[in-house]
Chain A
Amino acid sequence: MRLARAGDESAFAEMVRRYSPRVFRVAARFFRRREQVEEVAQEVFLKAFTQLEGFEGRGSLEGWLARIAANTCLNMLRSARRRPELTASDLTEDEAAWLDDKLAGVAGERHRSAERAVVAADLTDRVFETMSPEDRMVLMLIDGEEASVKDVAELTGWSESNVKVRAFRARRRMREAVERLLARGERNERERFKSAGER
């Protein structure tokens, strides 16, 4: 750490090797394409190199890097345009089928396949596109990764009560978005049945 701070390249290389898995994990909560994740992780380490002198050593270096990663990802997502709302007609056939299966309780762990997992992750991203980057992050960490409120507070620099409030609101927004999606899906399904019956 001391050597890396003094500009020693090999010490910095060791730092990258040791902490890149953690930085990748944080970046993968925000981005799904490998190139994007690598790009973010690279940016994080370049920022870290220039800001090493500002690291006071109060917390762990890993935690400091994770915070830089979270902030970098949030900033990148903030600049991206948000969709106003996701509607059932926007869904692909696979996504609609996934939702139907989940509702019917057919697809449990037994039926889990890599392909279906990708469909679910795609669907999550599409719901996420209608939410703020902060909401997405807090949900991914607490509900997806089962991180504690304290961990998220440390990662983001928010207070624990702020994390709780944000998680509550984000959960509500996501639930309502999915609820609308399911309701429209059901309506479309009913209309399809109706028109098939008339024929």
Chain B
Amino acid sequence: MRDEHIKEMLDGAPLDNLSESELTAVRSHAEGCEACGRAFDAARVSSLLLKERAAETFEPSPFFQTRVLAALRERQSGVEAWSLGRLWRAAGVLFSTMAATVAALAVLTFVVPQPAATQQEVASAGRAYTAEDVILEQAEQPDEQMSYGQVLTTLYDTDEDAGR
């Protein structure tokens, strides 16, 4: 039997699962082979260690159920508090934004001085125009229309130029 074959047998299954014939083969080989003897010893010790470790058990304490329920309630109330906190924070942001906007509008309206042109526009926009005002305004403006004579002169000059 080869060394690797022995080691594969030892690693292939728990030691307890090896058949009597397999164990005999391993033992007889291990007697004459130092490396396999060490591997067999280590496999035996590993198996014992795992058995000892698996023998350790814990039973739930009588208070375990209560503890889990308390933790569940705590976690749920934590989630609710967290949601309320988020809502509160969101409301706070909204409120402060609104307050800032109102304050900015107030400052723009009452504190910042308006430009003069704008004031005139506002004043003229506020004035009510009547038909008389419009006619008087037009009358005040200089008449830029051509006189009858100027029109005729312009017309004849243009015809003479064309005849030439």
Residues of chain A whose beta carbon lies under 8 Å from any beta carbon of chain B: 9, 12-13, 16-17, 20-21, 24-25, 27-29, 32, 34, 37-38, 41-42, 45-46, 49, 99, 102-103, 117, 120-121, 123-125, 127, 139-140, 142-146, 168-169, 171-172, 174-176, 178-179, 182-183
Contact = CB atoms under 8 A, between A and B. Distances in A.
B64 A171 contact: no
B38 A182 contact: yes
B57 to A, nearest CB: 6
Contacts of B52: 117, 120-121, 124
B90 interface: no
14 contacts: A13-B65, A20-B64, A24-B59, A49-B72, A117-B52, A117-B56, A120-B49, A120-B52, A120-B53, A127-B49, A142-B14, A143-B50, A172-B7, A183-B38
Majority secondary structure of chain B interface residues (helix, strand, loop or mixed):
helix
B147 interface: no
B16 A146 contact: yes
Majority secondary structure of chain A interface residues (helix, strand, loop or mixed):
helix
Contact of A182 (B42, B55, B75): B42
Interface string B37-49: 0110111111111
B11 A16 contact: no
B10 A144 contact: no
B65 to A, nearest CB: 5
Interface centre among B16, B64, B67, by most A CB within 10 Å? B64
B60 interface: yes
Q: Give the interface size bracket for B toward A.
A: 35 or more
Contacts of A144: 50-51, 53-54
Interface string B3-47: 000010011101110000000000000000000001101111111
B58 interface: yes
A145 B47 CA distance: 11
A21 B60 CA distance: 6
Given A29-B54, A46-B72, A121-B56, 13 more contacts: A9-B69, A27-B58, A38-B58, A41-B60, A42-B71, A102-B44, A117-B52, A120-B52, A123-B49, A143-B50, A144-B53, A144-B54, A179-B41
